[in-house]
Structures are given as structure tokens and as C-alpha cells.
Amino acid sequence: MQKGELRQRIEAMGLLYAPQTELPPQVIDQYAEYAVRRIWRLLIRQREWEFRVFVTANHGDHLPSDYVAYANRASATGPNRSFADIPVNKIGTERHALYARAIPSRPRTYVADQKIYFLPDSTMTDPNTGNPYANINGVKWYYYQRPPKLFGETIDDTTDIGLPDFACLWAVQVAFTYCLVHMMSAQKRAQYMRRIGEESIKSVAQFIAIARGQQEQSPMYQTPPAQKGAPQQ
Amino acid sequence: MTQATMIQQVYERMPDAISNEKIDDGIVRQALNMAYQIVYQRAIVAMPDWYNRNNGTFSNASSVNLPSDFYELLCVEVPLASRGAARVVPHTDYERINENVVSQGVASSPTAVIDATAITFSNAVTGSLWYKFKFGFITDDTTEITEPNSSALALIPPAFEEDVLIEAVGILRNRYEQDEQGTDEALEGALQNFLMATAALDAEKTPEAVYNRQVAL
């Protein structure tokens, strides 16, 4: 669906359910964008492969401009090696502690200063040769892409909203709900918007947790259904 | 988006309420900065990597001044230490640990403690400081807010761009609607909103809210 079509559908919803009101298109547009983001974050939890892409990164490269979260997968070719993702708290250990540090056959990746880094790097010495390691380059580094921006005059009405077809009507509904909240009295709106904002933030956190490998849907994290009556044979 | 674009977008998003740019610029900037700080609190929990920072190395120092944008310590990297980093010791135990010959900091395993303005080590060490950064009131309109580039760190992760704007627009809308009501009602409304904000702040700081955050990382 295109941005302009989304707005027209929301306006049509207005004609159906709240015919007395006429919202400025900018107001509709901002809630449309907000709704698309909200649905995108729900979808990404279920269908993350649609949003996962990679960049070929060198040591010290900036995060891609459309970066949202690291997808917990990075690899270098020949031989194929995967990079473990480490928190920066462990950087000292991973760099310097005997037996714990990264070596070329078990490399690491981390993000700092909003750049992509790998270990081992040139600050570390190869114990076999006594020479510093070379920085690692050309790594396939997977991440999740942010959805297209939709608000504003510079974004044309023909821009695709970036959701799969089945979710578009859902976007219309959610955006129209936000528009209805917008038309309430100040206090009620403040209450509703606070709740909507909290939900939005929570969905980011859940998405990141999943991006970092904590699969919410995995059977490992689900409690088995309670058995009724005697256990079945 | 830079701060200038954010301000512009806030105007665009409420064409029915804001009419005179010259009067309102400062108020918009104020509301945006409130929104940045609100969203920062959430983003730093939700996006663990975004605020990581390294401020370079120090050599043979017994203490290091905290950088002005210091928020939280991640690691004191010390290449010559046996575990590659200094042990960060709780300040209540610092003396007890360092006066104990068994656990005291030594050159191969130095201890560090954070005070208001500096991190102090048990032995002079050479290394570097890794921390999470924070930011204050943004007055410079060229400041980059949501998109990192080669010359600037972005203050808010791109995933939160819309949330910042919606938050700022919400703050401003409350203000403008109060202006349109009568004085008493307006003050009452302002009071209500202020009390709600205070209650939200209190709720944030209760032990339950701090330790039972519904954010799994």
C-alpha cells in the first residue's frame, strides 16, 4: 500500500465513524506513520526474515543508516566462521585475558561509538608469531532494517509503507484508533497516549530481545499446558 | 534527523495548534528536549548497544576523571591485568577490600571505584574507559538526533524517532488546549497533567519498577 492510499483509507474511516470531524492531513499522516511502526514491530517478531538484511562490514565501519538492531548473526568466509556477539562489559577479558581472548578461529563482534567492531583487532598480538593481528574486514553482518519514513512533504504519496499486504488494513484500523484518541479532551488523550507510548516502547524491547536470540515462541520458553484429569496414556 | 528537522516536523504535525513560529520556537525546543529525556530513559534499557562509548586511553593513571557525558560504567579495560580489566568494586566495600591482603588490588588485578567525578584505581594503570553516554539540553539546532553519521553520534536510536515526536507533540498539545480553555480550567488541567507526570516519575523509581522491568535482554 502507498502512503497516499493509506491516508485516504483513514479519511474514509472518518467519514464512516466520525463524520463531524475533519482532521488536517498532517495529523492523519503522523498517526498513520506511528501505526505503521507499531505494526511493523509486531510483525518483525513473527516474520523477522522479511526485515533481516546484511551489510559487508569492515572493522570500525559506521552502523548502516537504516540500522535498527543487530540480528545476532555475522560471518566471514573461507573458512566460514561465525562471530559471537559480546557485550562491551566483557571487552577487557575478550581482548587480553589468557585463554579467554578472541582468536581468528573464534572471532567476536560488538558495537561501540555506533560503529561495528570485531575481535581480534590490531591492538592484540598473535602469541604464535608475536606480531599484531590484522583488523578483520569483509564480514557479512546481519541486522534489521528500519521501515521507510512516511511523514512529511519530502516523502511522496506514492511511497510504499513497507508492510505486507495482509497487514495494511490493520494499519488503517490502528491509525484511525489513534486519530480518535487525538480528538478526545486533553486529559483523556494524555492518558491514552501515555498507554499507547508505553506499549510502543515495550514492543521495541521485546523485538530487541528476540533479535538477540531469546526466541519468545520457542518451546523452550513455553510452560507445558496444564493437564486435566489423569495423565493420558 | 537533526534538531532543526525535528522542530520543523513538530510544527508540521500540529498545523491546527501552532500558528506563529517566532513566538513558539523556544517552547517547541523545550518540549522536544523533554521528549528526548523521556525516551532516553527507555531506549537505554531497550537498546543495549546504542549508547556504548569509549573515550580513548589513559596511561599510568591512579584515577580518571569521568567524561562529561558519562552515564554508566561498562568496563575499565586494562591490557596488562590478568583478566584484561579492573575489578569494579562497590564503594561500600572499597576500603574493606583494599585493606585486606588477600583481596586487595594489585598490579595484575587492580580494583576501581566510581565516585562523583572520577574513577579511582588501587594501582596506577594504563587502559581505557568504556561507558554508556548521556546528553543534556540540546540548544544547537544542527545537533544530530536520530541518524548517526561520520561526525556525530545519534542521541536517540532510529527506532524511537516517531515516539520522540509523538511525545513532544503530546506535550505541546496539552499546553495549547489549556490555553484555549478558561483560566481556572486551564490551571486545573495543567495541575492534573503535572500531577500525572510526577506520579509517573515516582512510579518509575519504586523498587518494583526498577527491579521488575518487563524488559528481557
Query: In chain B, what residues touch A146 (CB-CB under 8 Å)?
Result: 158-159
Closest CA to B147 of B158, B136, B137: B158
Q: What confidence score (pLDDT) does residue B22 get?
A: 58
**Rounded distance between C-alpha atoms, residue A67 and residue A63, angstroms:** 6
Q: Quick check: A204 pLDDT over 80?
A: no
Q: What confidence score (pLDDT) does residue A29 get?
A: 93
Which H or E run includes B61?
strand B52-65
Reported as half-sphere exposure (CB side, CA atoms, 13 A), residue B3 has a value of 19
The Cα of A43 is separated from the nearest Cα of chain B by a number of Å equal to 15
Q: Sign of the C-alpha dihedral, residues A179, B196, A208, A86? A: positive
Query: In chain A, what residues touch B11 (CB-CB under 8 Å)?
Result: none
Q: Which cell numbers hold the place of A128?
A: 604464535
Local confidence pLDDT in tens for the 217 residues of chain B: 999 999 999 988 888 777 665 567 888 999 999 999 988 988 887 787 899 999 889 999 999 999 999 998 999 999 999 999 999 999 888 889 999 999 999 999 999 999 989 999 999 999 999 999 999 999 999 999 998 888 889 999 988 888 899 989 988 887 777 666 666 666 777 677 777 777 777 766 666 665 655 544 4
The lowest-confidence range among A133-147, A154-168, B84-98, B175-189 is B175-189
Catalogue the long-range contacts made by B72-75 (C-beta closer than 8 Å, 24 or more residues apart): B72/B131, B72/B132, B73/B114, B73/B119, B73/B129, B73/B130, B73/B131, B74/A87, B74/A88, B74/A89, B74/A91, B74/B130, B74/B131, B74/B132, B75/A88, B75/A89, B75/A90, B75/A91, B75/A92, B75/B129, B75/B130
Q: What confidence score (pLDDT) does residue B137 get?
A: 93
Q: What confidence score (pLDDT) does residue A71 get?
A: 87
Question: Which has more pLDDT, A72 or B62?
Answer: B62
Bridge-partner residues for B132, per DSSP?
B52, B72
The Cα of A229 is separated from the nearest Cα of chain B by a number of Å equal to 34
Q: Are B171 and B14 in contact (CB under 8 A)?
A: no
B215 and A205 in contact by Cβ < 8 A?
yes
Closest-CA residue of chain B to A153: B12
- Alpha-carbon A224 to chain mean position: 29
- The one-letter code for the residue type at B116 is A
Average pLDDT over residues A168-186: 87
- Closest CB from B47, B49, B77 relative to A91: B77
The lowest-confidence range among A28-32, A121-125, B147-151, B177-181 is B177-181
Q: Are B52 and B189 in contact (CB under 8 A)?
A: no
Give the tens place of pLDDT for each residue, A91-113: 999 999 988 899 998 899 999 99
Q: What confidence score (pLDDT) does residue B49 get?
A: 87
Cis geometry, peptide bond prior to residue A79 (ω within 30 degrees of 0)? yes
B160 and A194 in contact by Cβ < 8 A?
no
Question: Which has more pLDDT, A197 or A57?
Answer: A57
A152 and B157 in contact by Cβ < 8 A?
no
Interior angle at CA B153, CA B151 and CA B157, nearest 5 = 140
- What value does the mean pLDDT of chain A take? 84
Question: Which has more pLDDT, A45 or B210?
Answer: A45
